[in-house]
């Protein structure tokens, strides 16, 4: 087994080890102004959008900038469902952290809702992972050296990793 494979297989941290368990959600029919207020109140960068209690999308600060502010949409009239990111890419709590990071790189995203069956049980972000474990820094460095980090991740990678 190569040294790299040994390093990766020795890492047994799971998504559930670093995920935030108290995920703030918002109904997809809420306005983006309401979403921004909730994000400000909780000092968070995203909300999981729900339809009839089921997670269907995610709305991030970036979504608000790109799809509302930059397009000069009315925040009082624009619905979360019209600007949220979909389809929702999710992981399970027992997924290995390295696999979650690979998925983030592959999908060019920084936030992954965590579901157990169909139930939303947490949220894991690239920042959570980068802050949490020095071993993950090694994996992030390896990935960043092998493959250029997606533009949306470069800031986090450069600040916490390189």
Range of the domain at 147: 1-19+93-162
Q: Same structural domain for residues 145 and 104? A: yes
CATH number of the domain residue 75 falls in: 3.10.580.10
CB atoms within 10 A of CB 20: 13
Res 9 pLDDT > 60: no
Q: What is the rounded CA–CA span in Å between residue 8 and residue 133?
A: 14
Beta strands in 6-126 (DSSP E): 25-27, 46-51, 54-60, 111-116, 119-125
Q: Same structural domain for residues 38 and 55? A: yes
Kindly report, residue by residue over 21-44, the tens digit of the pLDDT: 999 999 999 999 999 999 999 999
Quick one: average pLDDT of 97-118? 93
Q: Same structural domain for residues 84 and 99? A: no
Determine contact, residues 29/6, Cβ cutoff 8 Å. no
Kindly report, residue by residue over 118-155, the tens digit of the pLDDT: 899 999 999 888 777 676 677 777 777 777 777 887 78
Q: Same structural domain for residues 4 and 51? A: no
DSSP reduced 3-state for 146? helix
């Amino acid at each position: 087994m190569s040294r790299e494979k040994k390093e990766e297989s020795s890492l047994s941290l799971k998504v559930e080890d670093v995920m935030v368990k108290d995920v703030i959600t918002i109904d997809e029919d809420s306005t983006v102004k309401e979403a921004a207020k909730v994000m400000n109140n909780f000092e968070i960068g995203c909300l999981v959008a729900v339809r009839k209690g089921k997670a269907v999308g995610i709305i991030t600060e970036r979504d608000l900038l790109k799809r509302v502010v930059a397009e000069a949409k009315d925040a009082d009239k624009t619905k979360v469902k019209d600007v949220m990111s979909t389809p929702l890419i999710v992981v399970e709590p027992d997924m290995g952290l390295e696999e979650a990071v690979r998925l983030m790189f592959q999908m060019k995203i920084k936030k992954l809702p965590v579901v157990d069956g169909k139930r939303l049980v947490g949220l894991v972000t690239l920042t959570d992972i980068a802050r949490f474990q020095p071993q993950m820094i090694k994996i992030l460095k390896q990935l960043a050296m092998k493959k250029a980090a997606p533009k949306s991740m470069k800031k986090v990678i450069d600040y916490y990793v390189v």
